Amino acid sequence: MMSDIKEILITEEQIQEKVKEMGEQIARDYRDKNPVLVGVLNGAFVFLADLMRHLDIPCTVDFVSWQSYGKDTSSSGVFRIMKDLETNVESKHVLVVEDIIDTGLTLHYLLDTIRSRKPASVRVAALLDKPSRRRIEAKADYLGFQIPDYFVVGYGLDFAQEYRNLPFIAVLKPEIYAGSDTPPDELE
Ligand code: 5GP
């Protein structure tokens, strides 16, 4: 697996330090608010698991899974809920936990859906942001790192479902992407 990696963009130590910092900030902001953390599957599960262990406050966790219709996923902007929340979020403080904000479409529509359920508040914690790729307004209230327009893997993020178990964020060698039927642009 290591031989597939071209470059480590963010090391394990950098991630762990940042996630701790984010968790401590969130714990301060949500004291007495009993937030519901909403993890966006599959990519966010590693980040969410680490982040919530830095929250020394009462909180609950739930997950959603979205899939976009059609092949050209990012431009269609039409999403189907594969797994919905099990929690009734009305009057609750919701913190959406995302792995990466790219075009912004996933987050935009997810926030619309959550807001329609009348929560007390909604905020977003994202580990990574690729602002240069944005197609619709979407922003994290708590952000780990801004990165350039690279397709990255590791720390929950996959390429063709692999590499999620890497403890750092990395870019793969071009021949790995080239050898796939599904180029990264179509995997959003
Ligand atoms: P958006 O709707 O903002 O374009 O896309 C967000 C989703 O696309 C992320 O939750 C993630 O699943 C996927 N994605 C976007 N950029 C990357 C990337 O660089 N690497 C991986 N593995 N997934 C990405």
Task: Enumerate the β-bridge partners of residue 5.
Answer: 172
Average pLDDT over residues 34-41: 97
Domain covering 13-150, topology: Rossmann fold (3.40.50)
Q: What are phi and psi for residue 14, nearest 5 degrees?
A: -60, -40
**Higher-confidence position of 28 and 178:** 28
The predicted pLDDT at position 78 comes to: 76
- If 0-12 CB within 10 Å is exposed, 13-18 middle and 19+ buried, where does residue 104 land? buried
Q: For 114-135, how does the pLDDT look when each residue is reduced to its tens digit (9 = 90+)?
A: 999 999 999 999 999 999 999 9
Entry pTM: 0.93
Q: Which of 117, 123, 51, 52 lies closest to 84, judged by CA?
A: 117
Beta strands 169-172 and 152-153: pairing type?
A: antiparallel
**Domains of the chain, residue spans:** 13-150
28 C-alpha vs ligand 1 centroid, how far in Å?
A: 29
Question: Which two tokens mark 142?
Answer: 């708590």
The predicted pLDDT at position 75 comes to: 53
Q: With pLDDT > 90 as the criterion, what percentage of the chain qualifies?
A: 83
Q: For 137-149, how does the pLDDT look when each residue is reduced to its tens digit (9 = 90+)?
A: 999 999 999 999 9
* Given the residues 50, 99, 102, 129, the one annotated as active site: 102
User: Would you call 27 helix, strand, or coil by DSSP?
Assistant: helix
Residue 153: CB within 6 Å of ligand 1? yes
Q: Which of 91, 135, 87 lies closest to 109, judged by CA?
A: 135
Residue 106: CB within 6 Å of ligand 1? yes
Mean pLDDT estimate for the chain: 92
The predicted pLDDT at position 80 comes to: 84
pLDDT category at 1 given cuts 50, 70, 90 is confident
Q: For 131-181, how does the pLDDT look when each residue is reduced to its tens digit (9 = 90+)?
A: 999 999 999 999 999 999 999 999 999 999 999 999 999 999 999 988 666
The predicted pLDDT at position 73 comes to: 46
User: Would you call 29 helix, strand, or coil by DSSP?
Assistant: helix
